[in-house]
Homo-oligomer: A and B are copies of this chain.
Amino acid sequence: MQNIKKERMALEQNAPHTVGEQSIRLPVPIFLRNSASVVGTKEAQGPLGEMFDVKGGDDMFGAKTWEAAESAMQKKALQLAVKKAGLQMTDIRYVFAGDLLGQSIASSFGLEQFERPHFGLYGACSTSGLSLMLAAMVIGGGFADCAACVTSSHFASAEKEFRFPLAYGNQRPLSASWTVTGSAAFVLTGPGKIDVDGSEPCIHARAQITALTPGRIVDSGLKDSMNMGGCMAAAAADTIFHHLQDFDRKPQDYDRIITGDLGMVGRQALIDLLKQKGYDISQNHMDCGIEIFDGKTQDTHAGGSGCGCAAVVLSACILKQIEEKKWKRVLFVPTGALLSKTSFNEGQNVPGIAHGVVLEGVY
């Protein structure tokens, strides 16, 4: 027993970048060098419409199926992000990608033509955070100079995958969210030639990733795929709580704590859950799902959702605020509901997961 304890201590010395129970401080800043967002028609008409890079004339993006349309968005987003970063596709050493569809087909078929080594991920709507975390660690560990993260969702392919055929015209309860048709891609690099004395970085970047809190699967016992915000709130609370504990920070240390797609119902649950644990985030919480649509005029009920939701809002809106120095540090916490139509039909719960990524300005 004594030996095992000693061994544990020896092992911990090999993990100098861990912080607290489940967090990570990156040894070098990981730059979000550039990014791109591609959205559908409804998103283009929403409050953030003007900020997205590409707005589809329809939601098919030249493809014949919804799934292929989602792939087309991913393709466009990655091409544009690489271009905006001033790089070539061959500069991207690894791609980290995933989506909501069974077997992540939007990513496989969207990205295969680029022939980049591919890390396939599944984190439901938290995939943007999952991909940024892994890419940041791979670059931070010295295993890649440059990587890309891509994710997407599509309203029509998601309804088909998870709920009812659109042609049924089924009614949606007020707790339901509207899956965002959108894709965003992010190009990440290491610090390059920045001088340690703090002189200007030679690399232009929109933001830097400085810390991570990978999330746990949290099952609140809810089963309602029409109230995913409620299902995910406990996971978001768990990740934010552990993040603040691990780094001994307060909510006020962040200009914004930004969840992915909790919507109106999930937001309130999150704020209540964290209040019970001693943290009041009501003043600086923001939810990408609430921001992307105008709930009053766009008939989107609780808000937007989907892998694409947090990703396109990060690219178009959050990074812009950081770039313009309006926000110095945000905690980005995309949230995922871990269900499939099979597990739902077999009466399983809908557990949630949320991953925390700290984004800061580059000064």
Q: Is A139 among interface residues, defined by CB-CB distance under 8 A?
A: yes
Least Cβ distance of A67 to chain B in Å? 6
A353 at the interface (CB under 8 A from B): yes
Which of A11, A202, A340 gathers most chain B CB within 10 Å? A11
B18 touches A91 (CB 8 A): no
CB distance from A215 to the nearest CB of B (A): 6
For A55-81 the 0/1 string (1 means CB < 8 A from B) is 000000000010110000000000000
A191 to B340, CA, bound (A): 39
Contact residues in B for A86 (Cβ distance below 8 Å): 4
Interface string of A225-267 (1 = CB under 8 A from B): 0000000000000000000000000000000000000000000
CB-CB under 8 A from A190, the residues of chain B are: 11, 14-15
A142 in contact with B67 given A22-B93, A102-B342, A105-B340 (CB within 8 Å): no
CA distance A87 to B104 in the complex (A): 34
Complex contacts, A144 vs chain B, CB 8 Å: 15, 18
Shortest distance in angstroms between A22's beta carbon and chain B's nearest beta carbon? 5
The 3 nearest A-B residue pairs measured at CB: A141-B141, A102-B102, A14-B190
Which residues of A are at the interface with B, using a C-beta cutoff of 8 A?
4, 7-8, 10-18, 22, 24, 27-28, 65, 67-68, 86-87, 91, 93-94, 98, 100-105, 108-109, 111-112, 115-124, 130, 133-134, 137-146, 160-161, 189-193, 202-203, 214-219, 338-343, 346, 348, 351, 353
User: Once the chains are docked, how many angstroms separate the CA of A87 from the CA of B3?
Assistant: 12
Shortest Cβ distance from A212 into B: residue: B143
A245-B85 Cα distance, complex, nearest whole Å = 29
Contact of A22 among B98, B117, B145, B342 (CB under 8 A): B117
> Are B134 and A130 in contact, CB atoms less than 8 angstroms apart?
no
Asked if B94 contacts A214 (CB within 8 A), the reply is yes
Q: For A93, list chain B residues within 8 Å (CB).
A: 15, 18, 22
User: A16 and B142 in contact (CB under 8 A), knowing A103-B339, A120-B122, A134-B119?
Assistant: yes
B-chain residues with CB within 8 Å of residue A217 when the two chains form the complex: 108, 111-112, 115, 118
Question: Chain B contacts of A215 at CB under 8 A?
Answer: 117-118
Contact assessment for A141 and B146 in the assembled complex, using a CB-CB cutoff below 8 Å: no
B104 touches A142 (CB 8 A): no
